[in-house]
Structure 1
Amino acid sequence: MTTPRTARPAPSSRPARPSPGQIRAKILDAAAECLLHGGFASGRLLSAIARTAGLSRPTLYKYGGTIDDIKEALVERELAAFLDELAPRLEDVRWSADDLTELLVFIVGYARNHRLLNAALRDVPELVLPVFTLHASEPIARISEMAAPIVQRHVDRGHFPPVDVPVLTDVLFRITLSTVLIRSRFDFDDPDVLRAYLRTALTVAADLHTPAP
């Protein structure tokens, strides 16, 4: 009588090792979480990020670099995410007060509701404000670079008049900055208030081009 063979257990499959890109993304996710909870002013931020990401300090240094490197990479990631959201809206906009108002409502609302930006303004305004004022040329240039071919297509199709993209970008950036940072009697957290304010501002600007009767 033949003894039946016992089937060998299948070799256990090990989970795939995360790629460097996945590790860096994990580090940035952990950094964002730590920064949201008061980490901007913390002197032990690297330790907090390593703990949150479940990584050793050497691994953190290898894939994330210094705390300044991590913050810079996080800013770059957030700016790229914003540009990804802005581009399709810019593709659909037309040269009218209504469309430009809605574009500005999106931009201002995005900035005012950005959790990391709000956390930074709460914890370290003295470090954040220069980034968006004295040293704002780089993000403005990035936005202008993204917008230029889209605006040119609108001009070629007759949807826009000939527009100086760097000037347009600079103006929109300044409007966004002022409505995010300057507090006044207007409640810009209310989209209807924000929309009415921007619509009035654009109308006044457009009327300046019309000679007075």
Structure 2
Amino acid sequence: MRSRAQDLSPVAIRERILDAAEACLVESGYSSRLHAVISERAGLSRPTVYKYVGDQSEIFEALFQREITRFFTRLTPVLRDSDRLDTGLADCVVFAVGYARRHVLLQKGLRDDPAVVLPWFTVLARPFVERGTDYLAPLFERLMTAEQSAAIDSRAVCEWAFRLVASLITTGGVVDTSDDAALREFVAGLLSIGVAAPVAQMA
């Protein structure tokens, strides 16, 4: 038997609502009217749903924020297992693209409701880029040599990684993003261009 709203903490109520919202979106898509089906699935009143998550756009944002937090939690050990900036960056990109590829709700949105999902990777992306940069910059800094730290801004590395991952997630191309080895080779090739250009100029 489900707990009543008055028996739950505000955090637990919000999580129940977001769990219900995610399930409803997977079943019905982003374009459906959500509050009625969310309240029914969560066993909470519609006013409670509005109180804790707001309108439909705020529900999407709350789900995106929650998923970003989950993603960072899973990405952290991947970067901690790396020992160099180039391999860490490749590990980050491969992990992020694979994570997105397996994410049922994201893939459904990209396929069925791109007009709702794509802005979070483009015109609405800045807050998430900034949040990701704040979180990831120290992890990338740990992988840098003294020379790299003097020459490279770790926050720029984070933003570059986001832009690359967002492009690979949302845009088709010649790279087979379902093949981790091919994706890693692609990222390594991009990194080698940045290294090779100054060497070629010096020769």
Same fold (TM over 0.5): yes
Given residue 103 of structure 1, which amino acid in structure 2 is its aligned partner? C
| Aligned counterparts, 1:14-33, within 5 A | 17-33=7-23
Larger deviation, residues 55-64 vs 79-88? 55-64
Structure 1 residues 200, 134: closer, same or farther in 2, change over 3 A?
A: same
Of 136, 139, 154, the match for 1:165? 154
- Judging by fraction of residues, say which structure has more helix: 2
Of 72, 87, 95, the match for 1:83? 72
The Cα shift of 1:159 comes to: 9.2
Q: Deviations over 1:5-59 (max 9, x none)?
A: xxxxxxxxx99922221111110000001111233011x2111111111222233
- Asked if 1:41 is matched to 2:31, the reply is yes
Please give the secondary structure, in 2, of the residue aligned with 1:135: coil
The Cα shift of 1:153 comes to: 4.3
Of 133, 152, 165, the match for 2:122? 133
The Cα shift of 1:142 comes to: 0.5
**TM-score between both structures, scaled by the size of structure 1:** 0.80
Asked whether the 8 Å contact 1:187–1:194 carries over to 2, the reply is yes
Please give the secondary structure, in 1, of the residue aligned with 2:162: helix
- Asked if 1:111 is matched to 2:100, the reply is yes
Of 104, 109, 114, the match for 1:120? 109
Larger deviation, residues 27-36 vs 57-66? 57-66
Match of 1:67 in 2: 56
Match of 1:4 in 2: none
Asked whether the 8 Å contact 2:39–2:45 carries over to 1, the reply is yes
**Which has the larger Rg?**
1
Asked whether the 8 Å contact 1:35–1:116 carries over to 2, the reply is yes
- Asked if 1:93 is matched to 2:79, the reply is no
Hey, what's the Cα distance between the residues in 2 that align with 1:64 and 1:152? 36
Match of 1:200 in 2: 189
| Gap regions ≥5 residues in structure 2 | none
| Gap regions ≥5 residues in structure 1 | 1-13
Identity %: 36
**TM-score between both structures, scaled by the size of structure 2:** 0.84
Asked whether the 8 Å contact 1:36–1:119 carries over to 2, the reply is yes
Q: What CA RMSD, in Å, does the superposition of the two structures yield over aligned residues?
A: 2.6
Hey, what's the Cα distance between the residues in 2 that align with 1:23 and 1:159? 49
Paired residues in the alignment total 198
The Cα shift of 1:146 comes to: 0.9
The Cα shift of 1:182 comes to: 1.8
Asked whether the 8 Å contact 1:108–1:179 carries over to 2, the reply is yes
Please give the secondary structure, in 2, of the residue aligned with 1:186: coil
Q: Deviations over 1:153-191 (max 9, x none)?
A: 445x75953331221112111111221122123321122
